[in-house]
Amino acid sequence: MPASLDELKHKVELQLNVIYQDIELPMPITELSQLLLDEMNIPDTFVEPVPYANHWSEKDMILITYGDSIIEADKKPLKTLASFMDNYLDDKINSVHILPFFPYSSDDGFSVIDYSSVNESLGDWQDIEDIADKYKLMSDLVINHCSSRSAWFQNFIKGSGVGKDYFFTADPSDDLSQVVRPRTSPLLRETETAEGTKHVWCTFSHDQVDLDFRNPQVLLAFVSIIRQYLDSGVKIFRLDAVAFLWKIIGSPSINLPHTHEVIRLLRTLIEHTKPETVIITETNIPNTQNLTYFGNANEAHCIYNFSLPPLLVNSLITGNCTYLKRWLMSMPPAQNGTSYFNFIASHDGIGLRPAEGLLSDLELNTLVNTMQTFGGRVSWRTSDTGEQKAYEINIALYDALKGTTKGEDKWGLERFICAHAVMFGLEGIPGIYIHSFLATQNDYEKLKNTHHNRAINRHRWDYQLLQEQLDSNFSTHSKVLNRMLALIDIRTKQPAFHPNATQYVLHLGLQLFGYWRQSLNRKQSIFCISNISDEKVELRLNELNLIVTDNWFDLISGTHIEDTATELELMPYQTVWLTNFRNEE
């Protein structure tokens, strides 16, 4: 590792040589590397990052929310969000991912107009910094594209000023047949500019114009943005849609080696500025491709565990954990310095690409059809062969789990809690979407008004109405929040739930999904077993290899295990966390 600024500069130069190996730059690599270091303002006496260090523990839980998921009259939403977290999450959550809080033109924030400003309708930088003072703040770096209404793109149209050469263009006659798309809209946007008609690359929508990282000025611009976010208290960077960052005509233009090297370069710059900062890559792609973003513990610290939501929901609606268990068995343990970022629900939908090769076409069709009967919508993409394929299911998680393939039933709440009990125990860092905490259901009104499928799971709560629901012992919203917080309270005290603690999958049949966690010091074991069916199931404890000389009990119910050779009857969707060690902190 670099021990001096000169050595660090040399490392950056090597990385830049890989990125720009086929490109004629307007400046020498040595000059570009110095500009990057100057932009990050790395001091001569920088603190050397410790290799393979885990910047997380079992205490880390991340709330995922929009800045205005909760609103109240005459108050900026960021202040309301802070009030909600302080009053209702009861110190159980130590981190928060505030989805893009910048001025934007579409896609609920992911079409950024100005990266350097806070959306005035949400609050200001002081509100962001106040939250960052109390919680680990995770921010999006929307790095693949920006808004067509940004000053950068307007300068591209004018042909002068910052941004005039920031955007990737192609010719309609180019071979674009291999390009992997997450959308069905035309890839190229015809745009009239001062220099004539140009066709701008748009991976997502024509309001989201793709940036051209072949131009080193784009890289410098984003390094400047990163430095500003660090100064404002950001401790976790979510690299949005980063898999599409580098484009090459005639290639799939996804997961290219240049993209991986850009991430490694940003990692180098960030960790030599603030060593405990974490990078999470958002790559909604097939599982084997997603895993490559760990690199050799030198790219992303964490990757989104995108296969978990479709596989877990599939298990709970079918009562069969075969596919979930098979996938978990194939997942490599994250080496020290890396971790999985686990989630079930997010501001987007349940992505189906990460289930490709893991669920059969029949299982995928059954999943899609079941979600549609529960009010969900489906977003589509165009496959390599030109056919329309389901890309993601858009539905609120509470509605997604209100029944099984047989239809809606009485077990919805228990099934919902079971899903989170499974996720909370898994290797990795849990992320909980705010609407999962609140048991929010499908927002058909917002869907109708916006005509965007994802709006169904982006409800905006009135704080007063929400408080009335949460303060009532009888409301579903209150029951869910309290039970989730109770699980989190247990989870964050167990060394065996450290994100990098040992994990082994258990073989307990189709209806019982289980895994064993062991703390890093090997003192605590937790056997996590969930009945993922709508029937009572007997759990034979002698199949768990419980050490007979240890004192075993269930962390969730508090039940003591008197006889390790007996059977436990698990109710539908009941979870037990059987452990030999209780941390009473």
Contact 513, 575 (CB under 8 A): no
Tell which residue, 61, 79, 62, has the closest CA to residue 70. 79
Whole-number Å distance between alpha carbons of 211 and 561:
59
Tell which residue, 292, 287, 283, has the closest CA to residue 354. 287
DSSP string, 499-564: TTSEEEE----SSEEEEEEE-TTS--EEEEEEE-SSS-EEEEGGGTT--TTS--EETTT--B-S-T
Q: Compute CA distances 304 → 90, 342, 344, 355, 428, whole Å.
A: 26, 6, 10, 13, 10
323 CB-near residues (< 8 Å, 6+ apart): 311, 314, 315, 358, 359, 363
Report the DSSP pairing between strands 575-579 and 553-554. antiparallel
Would you tell me how many other CB atoms lie within 10 Å of the CB of residue 21? 10
Whole-number Å distance between alpha carbons of 272 and 281:
19
Q: For residue 388, count CB atoms less than 10 angstroms from its CB and return exposed for 0-12, middle for 13-18, buried for 19 or more.
A: exposed
Contact 526, 575 (CB under 8 A): no
User: Which residue(s) pair with 330 in the sheet?
Assistant: none
Would you tell me how many other CB atoms lie within 10 Å of the CB of residue 563? 10
Please name the residue that has the structure tokens 């209150």. 478
Backbone angles phi, psi at 345, to 5 degrees: -125, 150
Q: What angle do CA 396, 400, 401 make, to 5 degrees?
A: 125
Q: Which two tokens stand for residue 262?
A: 């850009």
By residue count, the chain amounts to: 585
Report the DSSP pairing between strands 278-281 and 196-201. unpaired
What is the 8-class DSSP label of residue 215? S
C-alpha 556 chain-centroid distance: 27
Whole-number Å distance between alpha carbons of 460 and 71:
7
Q: Which two tokens stand for residue 438?
A: 């609140």
Contact 63, 93 (CB under 8 A): yes
Is residue 443 flagged as an active site residue?
no
Q: Which two tokens stand for residue 392?
A: 């993601």
Which of these is catalytic: 60, 207, 210, 240? 240
Whole-number Å distance between alpha carbons of 355 and 378:
15
Whole-number Å distance between alpha carbons of 136 and 61:
10
So which residues are the catalytic ones?
240
